[in-house]
Amino acid sequence: MGSAHSVPAEMRELADRTGFTSEQIEHLHRRFKQLSRDQLTIRKENFDSIPDLEFNPIRAKIVHAFFDKRNLRPESDGLADEINFEDFLTIMSYFRPIEMNMDEEQLDRFRKEKLKFLFHMYDSDHDGKITLQEYRNVVEELLSGNPHLEKESARSIADGAMMEAASICVGQMGPDQVYEGITFEDFLKMWQGIDIETKMHVRFLNMETIAHCY
């Protein structure tokens, strides 16, 4: 049947970089316009209009991740005030599922990227390490809002998890050793053997095959 309109060059470039198909990009563009209320950029306030997101305990961290420059471009740091559609797509592409035709090296890179995204969510002060305090913050956020849970319980859960992390990364620690924090290499070690590819992905429907049914 053949598409009667040509895909513009920027669209193809976006598709190559993020791995979405042009139809998916169009659909996400419409979603972007909805969220930004027809502006060219999105700010943090625009995420307030999503009711489903309100239920999410780590909502603040998720919204923050969209504006985190470490996720948007390699080797950059800091927080952006607003993001455009390209940045929006870049963040969404972290949640792409794995494709059948990926080789070992691609799979490994894919996995590292997803874990890096998760790492940045925990490492809120951007120093490259997840300290005990940062870990505690995440646990508290996840458990926040429950009047029955005391702060102490949340802390003990975080401490326990941190100790387990230390044992995986550093092995047996001497009595004077202080575990400073989880670096990204340690983080990767913790996830060895655990299959994250099926857990951290959003199944974007492939619209192309459907359109051709016509």
Partner 1 sequence: MLRFTRAVQGPRTSQWATLQIEEGVKKQKVLALGNLISTGIIQREETSMEKEIAGHRRGHFNLADAMYFSQKGCEAVAEDEVTWRFYSEELVSWNLLSRTNANLHNVSWQLTVVWVFGILIRYCLLLPFRVCLSVFSILLLVFATTVVRQFPNGRVKCWLSNQVQMMCAALGVRSLGGLVHFHNRENRPQGGGICVANHTSPLDVLILASDGCYSLVSQTHGGLLGLVLRSCMQTTQHVLFERSELKDRHLVRKKIREHIADKAKLPVLIFPEGTCINNTSVMMFKKGSFEVGGTIYPVAIKYDPCFGDAFWNSTKHSFVTFVFNVMTSWAIVCNVWYLPPMVKEEGEDAVHFANRVQAVIAARGGMSVLPWDGGLKRKKVKESLKEEQQKKYCQIVTENGSMGNGSVC
Long-range Cβ contact pairs of 118-126 (< 8 A, separation 24 or more): 118/200, 119/184, 119/187, 120/65, 120/68, 120/70, 120/71, 121/58, 121/61, 121/62, 121/64, 121/65, 124/61, 124/64, 126/70, 126/77, 126/78
C-beta closer to partner 1: residue 106 or 144: 144
- Per CB under 8 A, the segment of 70-78, 79-87, 91-99, 103-111 that binds partner 1 is 91-99
Residues 15-34 as x/- pattern, contact with partner 1 by CB under 8 A:
---------x-xxx-xx--x
Q: Is 40 in the site for partner 1 (CB under 8 A)?
A: no
Footprint of partner 1 on 128-187 (CB under 8 A): 138-139, 142-146, 148-149, 153, 156-158, 160-161, 163-164, 167
Extract the tokens encoding 143: 């458990």
Nearer to partner 1, 148 or 174 (CB): 148
Cα 94 to chain centroid distance, Å, stands at: 6
- The footprint of partner 1 (CB under 8 A) covers 1, 3-5, 24, 26-28, 30-31, 34-35, 47-59, 61-62, 65-66, 92, 94-95, 117-118, 121-122, 138-139, 142-146, 148-149, 153, 156-158, 160-161, 163-164, 167, 190-191, 194, 196, 199-205, 207, 210-211, 213-214
